[in-house]
Structure 1
């Protein structure tokens, strides 16, 4: 119940922060795309979280330890801070785009964005289910074992694959094409995070070097 209470509080505060980042710059509550996005985000995170709470609460606790203060590596603190700022900027820029009509996104494209958001978040949660050590911060725990099956059989960092889908889908869901300009810096930050994380995993996680030879791609099959 303690984990459930923390999770509920964290989710509620997160949605409140998202709402402020969207509705304040939009200048209105009549922004159905934002309401739809928040609903999709909530459902796509709460249902898997409840499942993890019942089946693997330790994995859920690892996912809740997020943010710069949870990182032990200096580069990761800088990167994750920049990632949070980039994601917040996507919200604000997309809301401003909606407010001033800089780009006109058809409703089917907005719904496609919502689908990408749901898929991206779903991929991230499946990763946690398949790998209970998949934390929100970069670390190797005592007794941690290598997972090379499931989504990890396709790419080495499937959680970040889900994050990319989330970054693509978010501005589209929020009625903005201009928000996509922040995809490039977001991708650069993910690449920096992955490269530093792989140095740690190669050094401290048994079998990881051999795994990288078996699964060649980090983020997307046949690309990188």
Structure 2
């Protein structure tokens, strides 16, 4: 099976999984916030992926090696497992919130959340364009260059910054204030992933130690 077909099938299966996690807990398909989020994910995930596949299939191939089994470092296995749980909760809890009316987010704020989701996904794709060695698991390949310009000149882990925007955007897009309580947990998991990843990068990626002196902030400019 060629790479593009695998990516398309993976995206379709992902959208189906999203739909189950959203509409089953919501108890209805009459949940416009859920449909809007699905549309944003479908467009912002599939279209850039198909384009990148045309110009650099190897970059896409690196993104397919994801999940607990793809990680070789124990800390990363735990972090990825926890991240999957939190991500699922960020879909299920807002759906339950919608069903039982725990909180009421205005429509305009849900739309802002959709924009944040699009921005987070778009930022992650820009990172892949700037660093074709950006993979879904923590690894260093032979001959991998150090990228220190573009978004990497602002923070050391711009893809995770995009993920932070994405997390906040998801719960707002789905109309749930209570689900914002999940964001700090996701942020702690992300911080643990970054700190462990930097141990590997400092040890195995030439020039990374000097790069950390040039770009001081790991995730959020002027904060951390």
Please state which band the TM-score falls in when normalised by the shorter chain.
Answer: over 0.9
Partner of 1:213: 213
Report how far residue 51 of structure 1 moved.
1.2
Q: Deviations over 1:130-156 (max 9, x none)?
A: 000000101101110100011000000
Q: Aligned equivalents of 2:124 and 2:58: distance in 1?
A: 16
Alignment of 1:16-165 (within 5 A): 16-165=16-165
Report how far residue 74 of structure 1 moved.
1.0
Partner of 1:196: 196
Q: Aligned equivalents of 1:141 and 1:155: distance in 2?
A: 22
Q: Aligned equivalents of 1:136 and 1:150: distance in 2?
A: 20
Q: Does 1:177 align with 2:177?
A: yes
Report how far residue 206 of structure 1 moved.
0.3
CA RMSD of aligned residues (A): 0.7
Q: Aligned equivalents of 1:64 and 1:37: distance in 2?
A: 22
Q: Deviations over 1:45-68 (max 9, x none)?
A: 111101110111101111111111
Report how far residue 171 of structure 1 moved.
0.7
Q: Aligned equivalents of 1:202 and 1:141: distance in 2?
A: 14
Q: Aligned equivalents of 2:80 and 2:158: distance in 1?
A: 17
SS of 2:184's equivalent in the other structure is helix
Q: Aligned equivalents of 2:161 and 2:139: distance in 1?
A: 19
Q: Aligned equivalents of 1:219 and 1:51: distance in 2?
A: 27
Work out the number of aligned pairs and report it.
Answer: 224
Report how far residue 158 of structure 1 moved.
0.2
The list of structure 1 runs, each at least 4 consecutive aligned residues, that deviate by more than 3 angstroms after superposition, is none
Unaligned runs of 5+ residues in structure 1 are none
Q: Deviations over 1:194-221 (max 9, x none)?
A: 0000000000000000000000000011
TM superposition score normalised by structure 1: 0.99
Report how far residue 179 of structure 1 moved.
1.0
Unaligned runs of 5+ residues in structure 2 are none
Report how far residue 125 of structure 1 moved.
0.5
